Amino acid sequence: MTGTSMDAVDAVLVDISTNTTQSSQSGDGPNEFKVIAMHSHPYPSDLKDAVLSICQGQQTTLRTLGEIDHRLAILFADAVNALLSKANVKPSDVKAIGCHGQTVWHQPTDTQYPFTMQIGDNNIVAERTSINVVGDFRRRDMACGGQGAPLVPIFHSRVLANDNELRIVVNIGGISNFTVLHPGEPVVGYDTGPGNILLDAWINQCTGETFDKDGVFASQGTTNQQLLRQMIESTSYFGRSPPKSTGREQFNLEWLHGQLDKFNQQHSNTITLSPNDVQSTLVDLTVESIASHVDLHGGCDRLLVCGGGARNQLIMDRLEERMPNAVVEPTSSVGVDGDAIECLAFAYLAYLHVNHMSGNVPSVTGATKSTILGAMYPKWSPSH
């Protein structure tokens, strides 16, 4: 898995119990997923720059797109092979790879012909690893009228639901998505808005750092409530009813500069924002976009946080301040490693595909029916 932030390629080797089913809210899910090994593979900066050069609507060529598609496939295969080497596991011992691919555009709405595009040629991944690959998870859900995202709520439900409390799971990656696990009710989930994507882009522009470790840069500033309110009120996504999903095509550095230009035009003579003030405001944008959606569901007993945002203490502290009636803690507190959860989710989706089981949640994506997700790219040997 490599998300919107493109900070690394994460790979997890997982043994999934053969008696795993699609039932939810059992409260004992983590025991069915045994993590054997984890690996974080470096994402070359020049390849990241190449992906960024095409994923925000910029003009490109088919040759450029095709070459990036090929380079990403090599990167994904290298990550898998490095993981297996670390774990001392043979390719023949692995049932399948669940490979999400790199999203370069996601447009489930605002067009007559909805589509999503993840690249990283799975044919190449299969050939370079000698393992079956299940990929292209999102488009089948979209073919059934769904958003194609988020897809992780089925896994959240499998391993994090509890019969005795209302839990909300929020993954703060580049984009934040959450899953509402209400005992006895259908699973609800959607993208709430930006997670780390704007925070990483802004600090990189200001200091050259790739992320704001523990929110230190943001903590040296003060949130401007007027800018925060402008960002929320002027962006239609925040007020849109679910099902909904978003990505870098909506929230990016160009969007942020547009917001800052608008603010400066209105307040140039009265308010001066420091770079730290902007970073602090972006932290609260992430926090408020999550918490306001939690409020829409009547709050929760426990907010379980995973993804890179769970390691940002300032984000965690502000979530606690904003949600005083909920227990706010990382998913690791209930036995699921927050750094592995996205990879585990797509391993689970690959498991469901291999076992001919549906993988989408229509109450989350808005699809008209449950359906199998993904396509199989089989390994090959002369005996086959």
pLDDT averaged over the chain? 93
Residue 162 sits in the same domain as residue 245: yes
Could you tell me the two tokens for 307?
């993804």
Residue 139 sits in the same domain as residue 188: no
Residue 160 sits in the same domain as residue 211: yes
What does DSSP say about strands 115-119 and 102-107: parallel, antiparallel, or unpaired?
antiparallel
Closest CA to 198 of 260, 243, 138: 260
| Mean pLDDT score, 124-129 | 98
| Mean pLDDT score, 315-341 | 95
Residue 174 sits in the same domain as residue 108: no
Residue 289 sits in the same domain as residue 171: yes
CA distance 152 to 345: 6
pLDDT at 26 over 60: no
Residue 220 sits in the same domain as residue 296: yes
Which CATH number is 21's domain given?
Answer: 3.30.420.40
Helix (H) / strand (E) element for 263: namely helix 253-267
| Mean pLDDT score, 227-235 | 97
- C-alpha distance from residue 18 to each of 160, 219, 255 (Å): 19, 47, 46
Could you tell me the two tokens for 192?
């709430």
User: Do the Cβ atoms of 282 and 276 come closer than 8 Å?
Assistant: no
Residue 303 sits in the same domain as residue 359: no
Residue 13 sits in the same domain as residue 101: yes
pLDDT tier at 20, thresholds 50, 70, 90: low
Total domains, the chain: 2
Tens digit of pLDDT for each residue in 280-321? Answer: 999 999 999 999 999 999 999 999 999 999 999 999 999 999
Residue 139 sits in the same domain as residue 162: no
Q: What is the largest CA-CA distance in the chain?
A: 75
pLDDT tier at 17, thresholds 50, 70, 90: confident
User: Do the Cβ atoms of 176 and 290 come closer than 8 Å?
Assistant: yes
| Mean pLDDT score, 173-181 | 95
Residue 159 sits in the same domain as residue 115: no
| Mean pLDDT score, 156-176 | 95
Q: What is the DSSP string of 182-215?
A: -TTS--EEEEEEESSHHHHHHHHHHHS-SS-GGG
pLDDT tier at 383, thresholds 50, 70, 90: low
Residue 304 sits in the same domain as residue 166: yes
Residue 2 belongs to a domain:
no
Q: pTM for the whole thing?
A: 0.91
CA distance 366 to 143: 11
Q: What is the pLDDT of residue 288?
A: 98
Tens digit of pLDDT for each residue in 65-75? Answer: 999 999 999 99
pLDDT at 24 over 70: no
Residue 103 sits in the same domain as residue 188: no
| Mean pLDDT score, 211-236 | 96
Q: What is the pLDDT of residue 229?
A: 98
pLDDT tier at 21, thresholds 50, 70, 90: low
pLDDT at 376 over 50: yes
| Mean pLDDT score, 357-383 | 93
Residue 199 belongs to a domain:
yes
Residue 256 belongs to a domain:
yes
119 bridge partner residues: 102
Quote the domain boundaries for residue 215: 153-334
What does DSSP say about strands 327-330 and 302-306: parallel, antiparallel, or unpaired?
parallel
Total residue count of the chain as it appears in this document: 384
Residue 268 belongs to a domain:
yes
Tens digit of pLDDT for each residue in 90-116? Answer: 999 999 999 999 999 999 999 999 999
Residue 284 belongs to a domain:
yes
User: Do the Cβ atoms of 179 and 168 come closer than 8 Å?
Assistant: yes
